[in-house]
Structure 1
Amino acid sequence: MDDTLTPFVVGERSHLGPSGADTSWLDEGGFYSSRRWTVSQEGDRGFDTAYLVARDEASGRTGALVPFHTASGGDSNPLYNETTLLGYTPDVQVLAGSRTGYDNRVLIGPGLSGADRTRLLTALCDRLLERAEERGAGHVSWWYLPEEEADALAALPGFATVATPCLPTAVVRPRGASFDEHVAALPGSRRSLVRRDLKRLAGGGYRSRSVAADPAGLERYAPLVVQVQARHGEELSEEGAIRYLRRCLSIGGGDGATGDGEGVTDDGRGAAGADVVITEVLDEHDRPAAFALGIVHGRTLHMRVFGCDYAAGHGTSGEYFEATVYGPLRLALERGLDAVHLGVTSYRAKSLRGAELHARRTLFMSRTDRRLPVPAPDWGFLGDDERFLAGASSEVLPC
């Protein structure tokens, strides 16, 4: 296919450049398809990241962007490894769009007609498959797409596609103008559970607060992250935990180290308008018993890291939900945010505390003359989550 569209030309880049006024729409699709997040994942877990960009050469206007990520054997994270969905491990995996974060979008500019969108996406996907074939892959996969975006890709002419459900995303939306009003608006059984959680926390002498992340104070949280990872069977040093927390600040704008040249202010807020917040759960002596780090992007707070001091006897009085759900929800209400994004897994516990589950799909795409992979999903390693989802179709919303 001819890569030249009027007025767009499809090209390839190894890195994203500085943001501009004409590309602000790239960040409006969501945090996990934003430039800051995408750039932060370059080289992560052995993936090689490149970008297909459609630009108007006369005006310099960007019409579309498709990040794609290539690795031999795939991701060590089974929630983003084709092995989980196909039952075998492809020699090379090429993932399109967002590669982590459990949300994905097709990034195409506003103002295009339906026909122009189709032509532009077709040209991008044609080049994407060409690049995948050059790297030894016969197909590409788009993970964690909303159903309507998976349908739009499947409707493009000239490609073979097959979609399969992947894990839904969990989101809590404020109900009412205050936290008390939110709790009162929950269905009866869920309202009672939340109130029991809060009573247990108060009885244990716990309180919480949300503060702007301070780069100079991250060391205090590292041991708590290490303990959580150990419970999941993963080894992590305190130095590694500090590096990851600092990386989260760079994504949110906390130190400007995203390669886009944007500066920061002293309160942990980046020039891109994202900021990093830590919700601390403090014991009766005002020592951190648990914490969660979240990044505000647009009108949503995205929860990224949880830590707990199990060694000091914490973690049995609802500290997890205070750090990851209740405290962040109070912050969202104070700031007038629309939602708290809780990611994936722990679905039953999150649903019982007011979270909505939004369906997501993985779409496999190949050329029509190639054999399309046949999905054979196996989420059995998730245990309770897999069993909950198997019987909770009414809990999962269509988009």
Structure 2
Amino acid sequence: MDRTMTAVTVGERARLGDPGSEEAWLDEGGFYTSRRWTVSQEGDRGFRTAYLVGRDEATGRTDGLVPFHTVSGGDSNPLYNEATLLGGAPAVQVLAGSRTGYDNRVLLRPGLSDADRGRLMTALCDRLLERADEQGARHVSWWYLPEREARELAALPGFATVATPCPPSASVRPRGASFDEHVAALPASRRSLVRRDLKRLAGGGYRSRSVTADPAALEAYAPLVVQVQARHGEELDEEGAVRYLRRCLSIGSGDDVVITEVLASDGRTAAFALGIVHGRTLYMRVFGCDYAAGHGTHGEYFEATVYGPLRLAMERRLDAVHLGVTSYRAKSLRGAELRPRRAVLMARSDQDLPAPAPDWSFLGDDERFLAGASSEVIPC
């Protein structure tokens, strides 16, 4: 039975800081809604970030948090720009929750009753729309929500909402106590493909290792990141790559930031991937490859981003390696599970929302996964 609903106060912070160790639950929803990741993104790509905080009036305890990010015109990343969803970008966009990383959550204290959850979410969303209106936005958008939380937002009284699919989230989980056991436990077609990948790598003289990221070594990785970005049609210089890698190191602590290197037969780094451990998951963030030296054709990508990180996850007894979005067929054929994500647009109930007209054609073959058309997408 629900307990009596508490009164809610919604305040605002310009910066997050550390609300206190008793609020560690704020970090338990996943890396991309954690405080250390969110704070690290403040000011990135011209976004202005602030925070709505919902508190129990009787105790002053923080029971909910909504980061929100405002930008004029939109994000240069089409995977987070409303132009992709609506066919055109509003003059001002307000994104709620996470705005990078392709995963999102509504941050409410675990253990709240259903009534208190609804009351708190309503209060937070009411204030969120008020702030959006002050900044010239007629609605807000929540990107990459699990289906359960998208439904919960849509059920709130007093708001108009519309939901549309986002690219699903990909992750791979260890099967067995060792990497060999994991491969043996895969379905036959996937097992065969993984073994071919590994055979190609060995035949090319490649090996891999996972190491704790060393700040003094970052400049050596930067040219490999630049080459990958150039293949995707994005301009990035080595200085910018070093800045981004340093930012990744600033997010972690101790041995949380790890790099899987794929080494060529001469011992030089042919490819690498950087990941950050949060909770019991390794989140992959950056891939680089030395295409100019002739690498990239022997499965180096999958060794750096899937197989090597999975071995590390097993060594550390982690639950999963988070692989982000896109390249779904290749990832699922190597054992990844895909979970659907949705974007929710929200406005006042007396306002009309724009009708979604999503265009994910730039994703190529990945577009079919948006509607859950693939058998690899797991409902949640």
Partner in structure 1 of residue 344 of structure 2: 363
Aligned-pair distance for 1:88? 1.4
Report % sequence identity: 82
1:338-365 residue CA offsets vs partner (Å, 9 max, x unmatched): 1000000011100110100100000111
> Could you tell me how far apart the structure 1 residues matched to 2:215 and 2:140 are?
38
Superimposed CA distance per residue, residues 373-392 of structure 1 (whole angstroms, 9 cap, x where no aligned partner): 21111100111222565684
Give yes or no for the alignment of 1:118 onto 2:99.
no
| Whole-angstrom distance in 1 between the partners of 2:147 and 2:59 | 33
Check the 8 A contact 2:284/2:323 in 1, yes or no.
yes
Aligned to 1:42: 42
- Shift in CA distance, 388/115, structure 1 to aligned 2, threshold 3 Å: closer
1:241-268 Cα shifts (integer Å, max 9, x gaps): 1110000011113xxxxxxxxxxxxxx3
In the superposition, relative to structure 1, how do residues 65 and 390 fare at CA in structure 2: closer, same or farther (>3 Å)? closer
Q: Tell me the residue number matched to 2:228.
A: 228
Contact 2:165 / 2:371 at 8 angstroms: preserved in 1? no
Return closer, same or farther for 1:390/1:95 CA change in 2, 3 Å cut-off. Answer: closer
* AA aligned opposite 2:317: G
Q: Counterpart in 2 of 1:249?
A: 249
Alignment correspondent of 1:137 = 137
The residue identity in structure 1 corresponding to 2:129 is: L
Change (3 A) 1:388 1:168: closer
- Name the CA distance, whole Å, in 2 between partners of 1:102 and 1:389: 13
The answer as to whether partners of 1:22 and 1:62 remain within 8 angstroms in 2 is no
**TM-score, normalised by the number of residues in structure 1:** 0.92
d(CA) in 1 for partners of 2:111, 2:196: 50
Q: Which residue of 2 aligns with 1:288?
A: 269
Q: What residue number does 2:86 align with?
A: 86
Contact 2:329 2:366 in 1 (8 A): yes
Q: Which residue of 1 aligns with 2:25?
A: 25
- Which residue of the partner structure matches residue 260 of structure 1? none
Once the two structures are TM-superposed, the CA of residue 394 in structure 1 deviates from its matched residue by 1.9
On the 8 A contact 2:166/2:370 being kept in 1, the answer is no
The CA distance in 1 between the partners of 2:57 and 2:112, in whole Å, is 17
Describe the SS at the equivalent of 1:396. Answer: coil
282, 285, 297: which one aligns with 1:304: 285
Aligned mates of 2:370, 2:186 — CA distance in 1: 21
Cα–Cα, structure 1 residues 117 and 389, in superposed 2: closer, same or farther, change >3 Å? closer
CA distance in 2, matches of 1:191, 1:227: 31
> How far has the Cα of 1:57 moved from its partner?
5.7
Structure 1 pair 391/65, CA: closer, same or farther in 2 (3 Å)?
Answer: closer
Match of 2:63 in 1: 63
Correspondence for 1:337 among 318, 322, 325: 318
2:189 aligns to what?
A: 189
Distance 1:246 1:94 in 2: 27
What is the Cα deviation at residue 233 of structure 1? 1.4
1:102-151 deviations in whole A, cap 9, x for unaligned?
A: 00000011232111111111010000000011111111110000000001
Distance 1:190 1:389 in 2: 22
Local SS of the residue matching 1:383: helix
1:346 counterpart (321, 327, 335): 327
Give the Å deviation of 1:395. Answer: 1.7
Residue matched to 2:216: 216
Tell me how far apart the structure 1 counterparts of residues 238 and 230 of structure 2 sit (CA, whole Å). 12
Deviation string, structure 1 residues 258-308 (Cα, Å, up to 9, x no partner): xxxxxxxxxx34xxxxx1000000011111000000000000000000000
User: Which residue of the partner structure matches residue 240 of structure 2?
Assistant: 240
Q: Alpha-carbon deviations, 1:39-91, whole Å to 9, x = none?
A: 11111111111100012466442110000011111111000011111111111
Residue 99 (structure 1) aligns with = 99
Report the equivalent of 1:279.
260
Q: State the distance in 1 between where 2:373 and 2:172 align.
A: 17
Partner of 2:346, secondary structure, is strand
* C-alpha deviation, 1:19, in angstroms: 4.2
Instruction: Give the 3 Å change call, closer, same or farther, for CA 391–27 of structure 1 in structure 2.
Output: closer
Alignment pair present for 1:165 and 2:204: no
CA contact (8 A) 2:13 2:51 kept: yes
Please state whether the residue corresponding to 1:104 is helix, strand or coil.
coil
Q: Is the 8 A contact 2:168 2:369 kept in 1?
A: no
- Using the TM superposition, give the Cα deviation of residue 393 of structure 1 relative to its aligned residue in structure 2, in angstroms: 3.0
Partner of residue 259, structure 1: none
For the 8 Å contact 2:284–2:324, the answer to whether it is kept is: yes
In the alignment, structure 1 segments of 5+ residues that lack a partner are: 254-267, 270-274
Paired residues of 1:167 and 1:359 also in contact (CA < 8 A):
yes
User: Is the Cα contact below 8 Å between 2:168 and 2:370 reproduced in 1?
Assistant: no
Q: Does 1:377 align with 2:355?
A: no
RMSD over aligned CA atoms reads 1.4
